[in-house]
Amino acid sequence: MEFTRRLSRLSRHRDFRRLVLVRLCGQCGDGTAQVGMASYLLFSPQSQTSAWAVAGVLALTMLPYSLLGPFVSVLLDRFSRRRISVLVDVTRAVCSLALAAMIAVHRTGGGASVVLAVLLLVMLSLNRFTLAGLQAGLAGTVEEAEYLEASSIMPMIGPLAALVGGAAAGAIRLALGGPLGTDAANGLIFVLAAALFVGAAGTACRIGRTVLGPATDAERVTVGDVAHGLATGMRHLAHRPPAWLALLAEAVVRIGYGFLMAFVVVIHRHHFAGEGRLGSAMAGAGGWFAVSGVGFVLSGVVSVPVAERIGVRRCIGAMLLVMGLSQATVGAIMAVPALLVNSFLTGLAGQSLKVQTDTVVQAHVDDDHRGRVFTLYDVLYNISTVLGAVLAAVVLPPDAVSPPAMAALGAGALLAGLGFLAATRPLGGATFDRGTRAADERAGARA
């Protein structure tokens, strides 16, 4: 009920409603494309799935943008973020259609494999770029006191849409992979993703050109401008301890989630399902991600009431502690039901922490720096996820069965939670509550 009331209050803003629709279509397309990619690269007869293979897929799709992201982030603070969103989604639709055609006609070997890898790279890297732009523009669609509420809606809307898109893609693969063949079914998945990207672009066109910011446009951007903008954004962030401490907490979450992504794919492919049972392995791994996605979605219901009760600072620390306790206990039991429980708690706590981090960054970073700071945020997000998968590849055995490694992962999250609470105590809870209704009410009482 509280979530419904928050959504109802925010929905009075026309451009916020449209921004939500853009996120729904775009992230539904992301979920569809990501399952299509996993289906082709990790759950096809020709694939040799290992933790290193998962880390390689994540590195292919995340690291190139991580290297270029800081430079292109300046564009988000120079040109219309709405225009960028439209162009990005149109480009992703074209890439997705090209992938569908190549996979459906089996043009994936030799030189064609390089083209396929580039198309995947561009399509999935652009995902992080457009999300950074939309997140930076969110402040223009709501009032300042509504940052926490808006930030809690978006992480709920996005994963829900991705979950729906991923479920649709999984259904296509499992239902049509037999009758049509694996490649034809994978091709259909990418056609669906393209249609969703077109829907996102069309919806973005209905948002006012200047609503998402920035305040002014620039006609040309030089390499020097980019370098200067990157340095300025980093200096701006360095002088805002609440923002970068929250970002460090988010990095810990992503390292853990990257580790679990590699673990889940490998244990279902080589332990629970066994060799040759690709459908069973994909369904099992998909079930884990779906349950985690439910936790992501419910974070929009949980995160705001918890933050309003104990404060944003304590909420971030508490979510790290919840993740650590869950991972060190049920997450270390090598049985499907226990892993699903940990999946839900990890998704719920991890995404709830992201809601708080988004709020802190929104509230403590000036609008003319938000684009590059949120892109730096995404770079950290990507690198941390890949680092977690690489860590899993180093420490996990070939079948991924290792209770001690999973317990150690939980202990790391517990230490991070305690460290965050200790490091942020001198800043005080009120500093972290900026951009929330609680802070607005305190300011009104003083006035």
> What CATH number did the domain enclosing 237 receive?
1.20.1250.20
User: In this structure, what token pair is assigned to residue 119?
Assistant: 């198309």
Inter-CA distances, 339 with 260, 288, 405, Å: 10, 8, 14
What is the rounded distance in angstroms from the CA atom of residue 411 to the CA atom of residue 275?
Answer: 32
- Taking CA atoms, 155 is separated from 248, 288, 318, 374, in Å, by 18, 19, 18, 14
According to the model, what pLDDT value does residue 274 have?
65
Looking at the domain assignment, is residue 5 inside a domain?
A: no
Question: Which is nearest to 381 in space by CA: 157, 194, 158?
Answer: 158
Check: CB of residue 252 under 8 Å from CB of residue 423.
Answer: no
The Cα diameter of the chain in Å comes to: 69
- Residue 410: inside a domain: yes
Asked whether residue 6 is domain-assigned, the answer is no
Nearest to residue 392, comparing CAs of 250, 255, 249, 289?
255
90-107: average pLDDT: 91
Is residue 292 included in any domain, yes or no?
Answer: yes
Contact between 352 and 58 under an 8 Å Cβ cutoff? The reply is no
In this predicted model, what pLDDT tens digit does every residue of 246-267 receive, in sequence order? 999 999 999 999 999 999 999 9
Is residue 7 situated within a structural domain? no
| pTM of full prediction above 0.95 | no
Can you tell me the distance from the alpha carbon of 118 to that of 120, in angstroms, rounded to the nearest whole number? 5
The answer to the question of residue 223 being in a domain is no
Residue 284 confidence (pLDDT) above 80: yes
Q: In the structure, what pLDDT confidence band is assigned to residue 44 with cuts at 50, 70 and 90?
A: low
Segment 418-425 mean pLDDT: 95
Q: Residue 219 domain-assigned? A: no
Residue among 303, 287, 290, 286 nearest 355 (CA): 303
Among 88, 95, 90, smallest CA distance to 37 is for 95
Instruction: Return phi, psi of residue 402, to 5°.
Output: -155, 85
- The mean pLDDT value of the chain amounts to 85
Residue 287: strand, helix, or coil: helix
Q: How confident is the model at residue 219 (pLDDT cuts 50, 70, 90)?
A: very low
Helix axis angle for 336-364 and 367-395, nearest 10°, is 150
Give the start-end residues of each E strand in 68-199.
none
Alpha-carbon span 73 to 144, nearest angstrom: 23
Q: List the structure tokens of 334.
A: 């090598």
What was the pLDDT predicted at 328? 96
Which of helix, strand or coil describes residue 413? helix
Predicted local confidence at residue 144, as pLDDT: 77
pLDDT, residue 446, reads 54
* d(C-alpha 22, C-alpha 211), whole Å: 14
Question: 239 lies in which domain range?
Answer: 14-213+231-442
Is 1 inside any structural domain? no
pLDDT tens figures, 223-237: 576 677 667 878 888
Cβ-based neighbours of 147, under 8 Å, separated by 6 or more? 138, 139, 359, 362, 363, 435, 436
pLDDT of 20 over the 50 cut? yes
The top-scoring range by mean pLDDT among 3-12, 94-103, 361-370 is 94-103
For 55, 99, 126, 202, 228, the CA distances from 368, given in Å and listed in that order, are: 35, 37, 22, 26, 14
Distinct helix (H) and strand (E) counts, the chain = 16, 0
Q: How far is CA 346 from CA 130, 184, 251, in A?
A: 25, 34, 14
What is the number of domains present in the chain? 1
